[in-house]
Amino acid sequence: MSVDTTALNRDRHDLSGREDVWLFGYGSLIFKADFPFLESSPATIVGWARRFWQGSHDHRGTPEAPGRVATLVRAPGAVCTGLGYRVSPDVFDHLDFREKNGYLRFTTEMTLADGRHCDGLVYIATEDNQAYLGPAPESEIALHIARSRGPSGDNAEYLLRLANALRELDIDDKHVFEIERYLRSC
Ligand code: BEZ
């Protein structure tokens, strides 16, 4: 799949006539909410795990030296906790461009902290996209992140801001915190 997913995402969901849409954020959307939202809440989705397995050509790296950023991978039985945002549909014009480096929108069932269940959208970089890097030990991911930077800044800043935001939300994520531990000792 091509790296620029802007046009693919625009045609994936018919949001016309909708007043609002729930969005599940698990990565940069947790610490960088640069869009208006009507409501936000901690939220969970089942069967997915957060992993630093996606290459970043446009934010935390370059096409020649991609950084590593978060995506979701299938993990039967796992629960991924993030933030749900209720947004106006036009917010997706901005997010489709911001997250165009291999991420496609999928529909997901999510559970909000107050127990409400709703269908929402989530951006996932699947393994068939050209920027996908795939698994590596957390120690290697930390070294990769430590030496990467791109137009949005140091790759380490992304990882550390996400780890801090997860801690503030009381969300445990062994993968992220293990990378953070290695990164702080680099
Ligand atoms: C997120 O935080 O949900 C997110 C991460 C990467 C790309 C798009 C969205």
User: Which residue's CA is minimally distant from atom 3 of ligand 1?
Assistant: 25
Over residues 140-169, mean pLDDT: 98
Q: DSSP letters of 75-100?
A: EEEEEEEEEEEEE-TTHHHHHHHHTT
Confidence of residue 1 (pLDDT cuts 50, 70, 90): low
Give distance in angstroms: CA of 165 to centre of ligand 1.
14
What domains sit in the chain, N to C, each tagged with a CATH number?
6-185 (3.10.490.10)
Can 39 be counted among the known catalytic residues? Answer: no
User: Which residue's CA is minimally distant from atom 6 of ligand 1?
Assistant: 27
Query: What pLDDT does residue 74 have?
Result: 98
102 lines ligand 1 (CB under 6 A): no
Confidence of residue 14 (pLDDT cuts 50, 70, 90): confident
Residues 6+ apart with CB under 8 A from 157: none
Residue 71 near residue 55 (C-beta atoms within 8 A): no
Over residues 51-62, mean pLDDT: 96
Query: What pLDDT does residue 185 have?
Result: 95
